[in-house]
Structure 1
Amino acid sequence: MSTRNHGEDVPVRRIDRILAFMSLGLLVLAIGCFLAIIIGTATGMQHDDFARGLWPAVGTTVYIAPIVAFVLLATVLIMTFVRRARANGGR
């Protein structure tokens, strides 16, 4: 049996919430950009049309945003594990 009370959990810090919501926001942005590319292709846009305007940024976002979101989520998890280990080590 554990002697630890469930009411004594480590509180969630503001930076953890910010990083978690940034990660979620980047994933939603990447999915939106992916859907925009699918819709653009389905409406008959040619390959040359995707090389102009905002489309290069949309295409780059699809590749970069999920990686950054994963790194942010991993950072939140590592920070949480370290903080809990320090809190449990002091008891």
Structure 2
Amino acid sequence: MSTHTPGDDVPVRRIDRILAFMSLGLLVLSIACFFSIMIGTGSGLEQADFSTGLWPVVTIIVWAGPIIAFAMILFILISSFVRRARANRGA
């Protein structure tokens, strides 16, 4: 016979869902930007200038996107551990 623990009924908050989907979206966007840079450099256009237009923004997304997504996931994990600990301590 299993016992019921209070940590089983901890609800998922809206901010956790928002951060999870934002981190997933940021990772997908970062991968898409990475492939766009690969296609842009491999297309054979010698006149392509990656220092103008949207290319600097695309490059920043490729560099900073995974780091920010990882930080969001860490925030979700830490907040869920703290919430479970408080729920288990209170019951």
TM-score by structure 1 length?
0.89
Q: How does 1:21-60 map to 2 (within 5 A)?
A: 21-46=21-46, 49-60=49-60
Which residue is 1:86 aligned to? Answer: 86
Structure 1 residues 76, 37: closer, same or farther in 2, change over 3 A? same
Aligned residues: 91
Q: Are the aligned partners of 2:27 and 2:66 in contact in 1 as well (CA < 8 Å)? A: yes
Q: Which structure has the higher relative contact order (CA within 8 Å, separation 6+)?
A: 2
Residue 49 of structure 1 deviates from its aligned partner by: 0.9
Q: Kindly state the Cα deviation for residue 38 of structure 1 after the two structures are TM-superposed.
A: 0.6
Greater shift in the superposed pair: 21-30 or 7-16: 7-16
List gaps (5 residues or longer) in structure 1.
none
| Residue 63 (1) aligns with residue 69 (2) | no
Which segments of 5 or more consecutive residues in structure 2 lack a partner in the other structure? none
Cα root mean square deviation, aligned: 2.2
Provide, for residues 14-59 of structure 1, a one-character-per-residue CA deviation record: whole Å limited to 9, x for no partner. 0000000110011001000000001101112448611111101101
1:4 CA drift (Å): 2.4
The one-letter code matched in structure 2 to 1:31 is I
1-structure distance, mates of 2:31, 2:51: 20
| Cα distance in 2 for residues equivalent to 1:28 and 1:48 | 25
Matched AA of 1:62: V
Q: Specify the alignment match of 1:74 in structure 2.
A: 74
- Equivalent pairs: percent with the same residue? 62
